[in-house]
């Protein structure tokens, strides 16, 4: 089985160190390359779907999370406050309070809605040591988060558009959803005690799921503290299921932050649609490592092309070809002849999508004989064509 904890270290994706701490993995060069490729893809996908990107701090005053409701309903999952200059600051457990303040940063009018904002930002969860593991359960999460502020009558449409976005990203990433789950309120103080709020939010989600013809399983007690959510569940190769992407409808925080917009009828209260297209980067990469076994699609592969001179005589031509690959935007490296036989070097780079072999003929022409990862020989393909092929599709 492709266990990401083993493969991730073998492939140079991530590692951990007790001096940094449990649940705080760091990214090695190959992992940083995969992560950057995924981040760039999602950023562009969101931009093409009308999102504006923002950046916000990874901590805030305790008062912010008291206002948002996190402190009352979610404090056990948060890190304790830090006292600075007579004030208490908290590492954020979520980005939504910050985005509510982005919306509130100036007056809004009805014509601006829906306002879609997104951020890839850090958030922190005070997980117990016993549940931490690899990249799937961590204490520091880079979350692909986004919030749509819309008029109430726009909420169902925005939920459906968010699901479209999630399905497009999953297809590009090679992810198959195991099931859709409607996560609902449970008992106890963990959830906001406002039955009407829950009824309104749940009605929007049920309407969208029914219109899309989704097969949905319901789960009590798995909703967010402020409202129900659609969880897109994925399964690893061993059949273990986890939540990756989510869509939530929130009437609670717009009221807590007194969010408003002006229209011809006076003042309206927006609905806040939370959506995460790919969830936390750590959990996503863990899944991708296991699904692809390290043979990532070309657009996200840590190394997309390797230049392989047949002998030392082709070294200068191989170096020139490597520079052309890098200039064209490929993540490329060279495997010179002094590292072993050509066959050994090809085997050592078996996970690289494009293997560019440079013999005497190719050195004379300035090209390469391109060998694909699956063993196919495709001849002398221009570097620029390979670079175009190695980009994600939108």
Q: Is 233 helix (H, G, I), strand (E, B) or coil?
A: strand
Peptide bond into 114 cis (omega under 30): yes
Interval 217-234 mean pLDDT = 92
Q: Say if residues 208 and 159 touch (Cβ distance below 8 Å).
A: yes
For the packed helices 29-48 and 281-292, what is the interaxial angle rounded to 10 degrees? 110
Q: Say if residues 27 and 9 touch (Cβ distance below 8 Å).
A: no
User: Which of 57-61, 123-127, 128-132, 226-230 has the weakest average pLDDT?
Assistant: 128-132
Sheet containing 59-61: give its strands across: 59-61, 87-91, 82-84
Half-sphere exposure of 187 (CA within 13 A, CB side): 0
Alpha-carbon distance of 10 to 389, in angstroms, equals 27
- pLDDT tens column, 200-213: 999 999 999 999 99
Q: Which residue has the higher pLDDT, 358 or 190?
A: 358
Is residue 276 over pLDDT 90?
yes
The pLDDT assigned to 1 comes to 65
Alpha-carbon distance of 284 to 308, in angstroms, equals 32
Alpha helix (H) residue ranges in 117-242? 155-173, 195-212
- pLDDT tens column, 331-359: 999 999 999 999 999 999 999 999 999 99
Give, in words, the CATH class of 305-389: alpha beta
Mean pLDDT (the chain) is: 94
* 4-292, CATH topology level: BirA Bifunctional Protein; domain 2 (3.30.930)
305-389 matches 4-292 in CATH topology? no
- pLDDT tens column, 62-79: 999 999 999 999 999 999
Q: Where are the domains of the chain?
A: 4-292, 305-389
CB atoms inside a 10 Å sphere around CB 130: 8
Is residue 133 over pLDDT 90?
no
CB atoms inside a 10 Å sphere around CB 187: 8
Q: Which residues of 265-281 are buried (b: 16+ CB within 10 A; e: fewer)?
A: eeebebbbbbbbbbbbb
Is residue 122 over pLDDT 90?
yes
Considering the entire predicted model, what is its pTM? 0.93
Percent of all residues in the chain with a pLDDT value above 70, rounded to a whole number: 100
For the packed helices 155-173 and 29-48, what is the interaxial angle rounded to 10 degrees? 140
Interval 15-24 mean pLDDT = 94
């Amino acid at each position: 089985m492709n266990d990401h904890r083993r493969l991730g270290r073998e492939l140079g994706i991530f590692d951990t160190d007790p001096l940094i701490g449990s649940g705080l993995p760091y990214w090695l060069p190959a992992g940083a390359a995969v992560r950057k490729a995924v981040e760039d893809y999602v950023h562009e996908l969101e931009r093409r779907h009308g999102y504006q990107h923002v950046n916000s701090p990874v901590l805030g005053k305790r008062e912010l999370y008291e206002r948002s409701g996190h402190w009352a309903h979610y404090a056990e999952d948060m890190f304790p406050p830090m006292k600075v200059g007579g004030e208490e600051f908290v590492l954020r457990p979520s980005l939504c309070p910050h985005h509510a303040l982005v919306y509130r940063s100036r007056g809004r009018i009805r014509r601006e809605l829906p306002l879609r904002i997104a951020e890839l930002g850090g958030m922190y969860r005070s997980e117990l040591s016993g549940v931490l593991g690899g990249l799937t359960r961590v204490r520091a999460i880079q979350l692909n988060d986004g919030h749509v502020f819309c008029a109430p009558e726009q909420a169902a449409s925005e939920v459906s558009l968010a699901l479209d976005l999630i399905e497009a990203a999953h297809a590009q990433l090679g992810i198959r959803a195991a099931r859709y789950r409607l996560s609902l309120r449970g008992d106890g103080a963990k959830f906001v005690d406002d039955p009407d709020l829950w009824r309104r939010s749940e009605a929007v989600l049920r309407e969208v799921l029914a219109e899309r013809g989704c097969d949905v399983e319901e789960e009590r007690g798995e909703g967010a503290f402020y409202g129900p959510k659609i969880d897109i569940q994925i399964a690893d190769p061993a059949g273990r299921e986890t939540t990756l992407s989510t869509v939530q409808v929130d009437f609670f925080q717009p009221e807590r932050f007194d969010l408003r917009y002006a229209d011809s009828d006076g003042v309206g209260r927006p609905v806040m649609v939370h959506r995460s297209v790919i969830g936390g980067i750590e959990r996503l990469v863990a899944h991708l490592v296991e699904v692809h076994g390290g043979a990532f699609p070309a657009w996200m592969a840590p190394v997309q092309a390797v230049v392989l001179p047949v002998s030392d005589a082709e070294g200068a031509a191989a170096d020139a070809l490597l520079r052309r690959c890098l200039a064209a935007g490929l993540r490329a490296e060279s495997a010179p002849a002094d590292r072993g036989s050509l066959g050994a070097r090809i085997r050592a780079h078996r996970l690289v999508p494009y293997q560019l072999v440079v013999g005497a003929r190719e050195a004379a022409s300035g090209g390469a004989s391109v060998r694909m990862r699956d063993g196919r020989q495709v001849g002398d393909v221009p570097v620029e064509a390979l670079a175009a092929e190695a980009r994600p599709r939108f």
